């Protein structure tokens, strides 16, 4: 990995530096975000994972999210966290073809990746799930800003640019037959 730049992001109320590198294998840039901070948000990973674990145990949003709310966050943030987790679970079930019921998704995910689903091990469940994905050649699924991409070699014939109207990829006309 070669250095490619850096940027800052918030973690709770403080700013942290994020280092970016370019991968010589896939040619993409990657941000090295510390495990205590969730990508694309200023939330603490442990707080969010603890919230998801508490919700899986049947606690109400307010009680499960007490740590997040005590940091001055609005209750709408809790609903957004749940929606983000549900989206990640849809991606997970599509990629790994696992039939995981929505109601018990957190506990079933923990069982699928061999982690213990409890509030004291909450962060380890999401970390174990991301490692499970990476071991199988897929981007980290949970708390990841990137869309799900399979890792490919740099010499791949087709590359997907960040700009969807890039002239490098010929337009494919739909088959009208």
Query: Can you give the residue range of the structural domain that contains 62?
Result: 35-135
Q: What is the largest CA-CA distance in the chain?
A: 59
d(CA 98, CA 55): 21
Residues 50 and 96 in one domain: yes
154 falls within a domain: no
Q: What is the mean pLDDT of each run of 10 residues along the chain (177 residues)?
A: 84 86 80 77 83 88 91 88 87 81 77 68 76 81 63 51 49 54
**What phi, psi does 54 have (nearest 5°)?**
-65, -40
d(CA 111, CA 128): 10
Around Cβ 45, how many Cβ atoms within 10 Å? 22
Residues 6 and 69 in one domain: no
Residues 99 and 58 in one domain: yes
Residues 90 and 72 in one domain: yes
Residues 43 and 130 in one domain: yes
pTM of the model: 0.68
- Closest to 6 measured CA to CA, from 24, 19, 22, 23: 19
């Amino acid at each position: 990995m070669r250095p490619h730049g850096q940027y800052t992001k918030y973690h709770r109320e403080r700013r942290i530096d994020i280092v970016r590198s370019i991968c010589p294998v896939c040619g993409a840039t990657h941000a090295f975000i510390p495990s205590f901070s969730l990508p694309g948000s200023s939330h603490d990973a442990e707080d969010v994972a603890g919230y998801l674990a508490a919700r899986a145990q049947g606690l109400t949003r307010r009680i499960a999210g007490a740590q997040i709310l005590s940091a001055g966050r609005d209750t709408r943030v809790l609903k957004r966290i749940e929606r983000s987790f549900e989206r990640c679970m849809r991606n997970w079930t599509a990629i790994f073809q696992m039939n995981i019921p929505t109601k018990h998704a957190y506990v079933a995910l923990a069982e699928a990746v061999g982690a213990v689903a409890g509030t004291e091990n909450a962060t380890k469940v999401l970390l174990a799930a991301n490692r499970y994905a990476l071991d199988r050649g897929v981007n980290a699924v949970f708390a990841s800003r990137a869309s799900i991409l399979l890792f490919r070699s740099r010499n791949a014939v087709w590359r997907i640019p960040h700009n969807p109207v890039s002239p490098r990829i010929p337009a494919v006309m739909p088959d009208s037959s």
